[in-house]
Amino acid sequence: MPAARESLLEAAGAALSVRPWPSVRMVDVAAAAGVSRQTLYNEFGGKAGLGRALVRREAERYLDGVDRALTAPARTAERLAAVAEWTVRAARAYPLVRALLTGGWDAGLPAAGGRTPGPGELARAVRDRAAAELMPGEGVEQCELAVRLALSYVIAPGEEPGTGELLRLLSAQTRTAGAR
């Protein structure tokens, strides 16, 4: 039942966007997805299982966005800036992504569960994806730094950085590191 599972995750995500997780009711999620409560329980076992699946899906969506940025037809520095931009936008738009990237879980979000990557693991996953996509010596280490730079904008909010600002900051970091 992949279609039902995806519909349930969409419905749960929509419910979470308008109310805290403790107020999300399984009956409402099932109805919004157009399936029975029994189907929901068969797929996820309960509300905790649905919450864990929702958190995992958001982690996967974040990493899919990283993949899109890394595979764009652009120079390496521009791709790294795109990863940083995506990180800031995703963390600001999606509370679960923000929690995954910062480790800042609040009572209004579903529990992450044991197999969900923490902030350091996600940053390393981005680095590993960059290693798979970029040529050796082409900025793999800078990709993890780009994500960590982006997280500074998430943790200490201000004006959202543009590509130009991120390129400037990332190239300054590269020059500084190269001088050592």
140 lies in the same domain as 111 = yes
85 lies in the same domain as 165 = yes
CA-CA-CA-CA torsion sign (115, 150, 14, 2): negative
32 lies in the same domain as 102 = no
Tell me what the mean pLDDT of segment 2-8 comes to: 89
Mean pLDDT of the chain: 85
Of the candidate ranges 77-86, 99-108, 141-150, 169-178, the one whose mean pLDDT is the lowest: 169-178
98 lies in the same domain as 31 = no
Instruction: List all residues 6 or more positions away from 14 whose beta carbon is below 8 Å from its beta carbon.
Output: 32
Collapsing DSSP states into helix, strand and coil, what is residue 45? coil
114 lies in the same domain as 163 = yes
What is the distance between the alpha carbons of residues 139 and 79, in angstroms, rounded to a whole number? 10
CB 47 within 8 A of CB 26: yes
18 lies in the same domain as 71 = no
Tally of domains within the chain:
2
Tell me what the mean pLDDT of segment 59-66 comes to: 94
What is the distance between the alpha carbons of residues 171 and 46, in angstroms, rounded to a whole number? 48
Answer yes or no: is 139 within a domain: yes
pTM of the model: 0.83
Task: Report the amino acid identity of residue 148.
Answer: R
4 lies in the same domain as 68 = no
* Residue pLDDT, tens place only, 122-165: 888 888 888 888 776 666 777 777 888 888 888 887 777 666 77
What is the distance between the alpha carbons of residues 127 and 145, in angstroms, rounded to a whole number? 9
User: Tell me, what CATH number does 23's domain have?
Assistant: 1.10.10.60
What is the distance between the alpha carbons of residues 110 and 53, in angstroms, rounded to a whole number? 10
Per the document, the length of the chain is 180
Place of tokens 């996509």: 133
Tell me what the mean pLDDT of segment 103-121 comes to: 84
For residue 138, the enclosing domain spans 55-179
What is the distance between the alpha carbons of residues 180 and 131, in angstroms, rounded to a whole number? 23
39 lies in the same domain as 68 = no
Answer yes or no: is 50 within a domain: no
* Residue pLDDT, tens place only, 27-53: 999 999 999 999 999 999 999 999 999
How many Cβ atoms from other residues are within 10 Å of residue 71's Cβ? 11
CB 98 within 8 A of CB 91: yes
Integer angstrom CA distances of residue 20 from 29, 61, 107, 123 = 13, 21, 8, 27
24 lies in the same domain as 63 = no
